[in-house]
Structure 1
Amino acid sequence: MALLVAGLLAYAAVIGPFTAYMRDKPMEEKLGYVPSVKVMKSVSVDQKELAGASLVFKVLMYYGTLMGQAPKGTILKDPGDLQGMSRLLHGAVQLDPYNMDAYYFAQGILTWDAHQYQVANALLDYGMKYRNWDWFLPFFAGFNNAYFLKDYKKAAHYYDLAGDLSGEPLYKSLASRYMQESGQTDLAIAYLSGMVKTAKNDAVRKSYQLRLQAFLEVSRIEKARDRFARERGGMPASLEDLVRSGYLKPAPVDPYGGTFYLEPDGKVATTSKFAFGAKKK
């Protein structure tokens, strides 16, 4: 009994200062040192999945500690060691490219917090080579390209892939929408025409037909705008100019209930944003 008490006292004498030391360490140090992926691969042998999961768990615990330090109801002002977290997440997927949590968490911190959009997309592309059934990865990449990078052509590609993997018509619609945003209206029309022909569900087919109708109107406006510019030596000031001057007859109708207009650079847009219930301009 005396030996047990002595052992407990010795443990307390060691663990107490150690706990205080860890508590007082700078947050950057708490993420800790991790051997290189090359070293971890060689020592983990057939336990690479477990090694990868441990790295992700380390990042989640670290980030959870950061979040716990933020006062309730406030946002996290110090995102912590973003570079270190990114390094561990990249290491995790090199050890286990199928690790779902690594990609999902990286999507959050590398985009919204670190603003490393290209790095996030490269990681998602890497994951797509292995998790080729997971529609979330191309969906994330589509969002990053559309929202953060304004690369609508790439966004259309990824949303199209997400639609194929998920069977969700919404992502196919987003793909066609971003084709139009990138200035490829004719490509969007060809894409939607094919989707209308191959759709197996009547409701889905009607959705494609509606969007196709909208883009056909966009194409008609673009052709009238370009003819106006060629013949008059300058872009029209507004869509109404095209209608009044006879270049655009009849006036275009947005099947989503919005109003078509020309942006300052001449791009065709609509207040509906090609969706029902969208906030009007």
Structure 2
Amino acid sequence: MVPPAPVALALAFGDRYLASDLAALRALVAASNMEGDAEEALFASMLELALTLNPAQEDSYYLTEAYLPWQGRVSQAQELLVSASRARPWDWLPPFFQAFNLYYFRNQPIAGAQILQEAADRSPPKKAIGLRAIAGRWSALGKDPEEALRLVESMAQGSSSGPLRRNLGIRAKQLRGLIQLRKAADAFRKEVGHPPPDLEALVGYANLTEVPEDPMGEGFIIDKSGRVRVQPPNLDRVRTPEE
């Protein structure tokens, strides 16, 4: 049973930091014994209590990201991470976790890339370069390459790092190639009546004279729906900027 915040506060003699630490400790213990929905719900409630009492509690937001979105509680995780992000304006990890959840669990790479900018703004220069490069990569996976191109060009213009500007410039070239291919695919579908079987079939449509090479080396593909996309990354293993 998880007590309401006022009760937890009273039990900790009015010390909200102590009350938050105790709730986080209970959540940590519960994490080792979650065998069903009821235990997971109890665990999530304890984390919510801990971060309600002290949104800056570091262990609690780590536990939030380590468990809640993977249990399907993405919305709850995002709410708690937003609270942690506001309480810890110096910390790049809460917005990074928010961004990752949008990218990985919600399939919203553009929205994730935009929040990743906030994580980069909070980071040391070397880490910020890596985060902005990831934002550029995520942008290329968005549903609207023209919107992604605007985002990448804006990031490049605002960057003081030469290597990052070059990386984003190459990313912008990739997106321009994707836009060309999308236009050709739309013209092919309109004329032929079905999606293109491969990229080479697009030559001659919408003024496309050849299939553009992907300067990032990731590759363009036609997915099962007939949509031209950038080859998505392998998501079997989750990577963070520290790896």
Q: TM-score range by the shorter chain?
A: 0.7 to 0.9
Distance in structure 2 (CA, Å) of the matches to 1:44 and 1:152: 42
Residue from 150, 162, 180 that aligns with 1:202: 162
Q: Does 1:87 align with 2:45?
A: yes
* Cα pair 2:184 2:203 within 8 Å, conserved: no
Asked if the contact 1:156–1:178 (Cα under 8 Å) also holds between the matched residues in 2, the reply is: yes
Equivalent in the alignment of 2:88? 131
Q: CA deviation at 1:77?
A: 6.6
Q: CA deviation at 1:39?
A: 2.1
**Contact map agreement 1:142 1:158 (CA 8 A) in 2:** yes
SS of residue paired to 2:201: helix
1:78 is displaced (CA, Å) by 6.5
CA distance in 1 between counterparts of 2:28 and 2:78 reads 20
Aligned residue in 2 for 1:268: 228
Does residue 188 of structure 1 match 2:166? Answer: no
How far apart in 2 are the matches of 1:196 and 1:81?
A: 46
Q: 1:260 to 1:207 in 2, by over 3 A?
A: same
Q: Structure 2-normalised TM-score? A: 0.82
Q: Please, which runs of 5 or more residues in structure 1 have no aligned partner?
A: 1-32, 67-75, 274-281
| Structure 1 residues 90 and 39, CA gap change in structure 2 (3 angstroms) | same
| 1:212 and 2:172 are equivalent in the alignment | yes
Match of 2:5 in 1: 37
Quickly say closer, same or farther: Cα 1:245–1:192, change in 2 above 3 A: closer
The two structures, once aligned, show a CA RMSD in angstroms of: 2.7
Counterparts of 2:112 and 2:220, CA distance in 1: 23
Query: Cα offset for 1:238?
Result: 1.9
Query: Match of 1:59, as an amino acid?
Result: A
Go from structure 1 to structure 2 and tell me whether the alpha carbon gap of 1:197 and 1:242 turns closer, same or farther (over 3 Å shift): same
Cα 1:63–1:272 shift into 2, 3 Å: closer
Match of 1:177 in 2: 137
Q: Which has the higher contact order (CA 8 A, sep 6+)?
A: 2
What CA distance in whole angstroms lies between the structure 1 residues aligned with 2:193 and 2:225? Answer: 15
Matched length: 231
Structure 2 unaligned residues grouped into runs of 5+: 234-243
The CA deviation at 1:208 is: 1.1
Matching residue of 1:111: 69
Amino acid at match of 2:69: T
Residues 133-165 of structure 1, C-alpha deviations (whole Å, 9 max, x = no match):
221111112222222222334322322222222
2:148 is aligned with 1:148: no
Contact persistence 2:220–2:229 (CA under 8 A): yes
Q: 1:226 Cα deviation (Å)?
A: 2.0
Q: TM-score w.r.t. structure 1 length?
A: 0.72
Residue 260 of structure 1 contacts residue 269 of structure 1 at CA under 8 Å; is this kept in 2?
Answer: yes
Asked if the contact 1:177–1:188 (Cα under 8 Å) also holds between the matched residues in 2, the reply is: no
Paired AA for residue 227 in structure 1 = A
Q: Matched residues, percent identical?
A: 25
Q: Counterpart of 1:50? A: 18
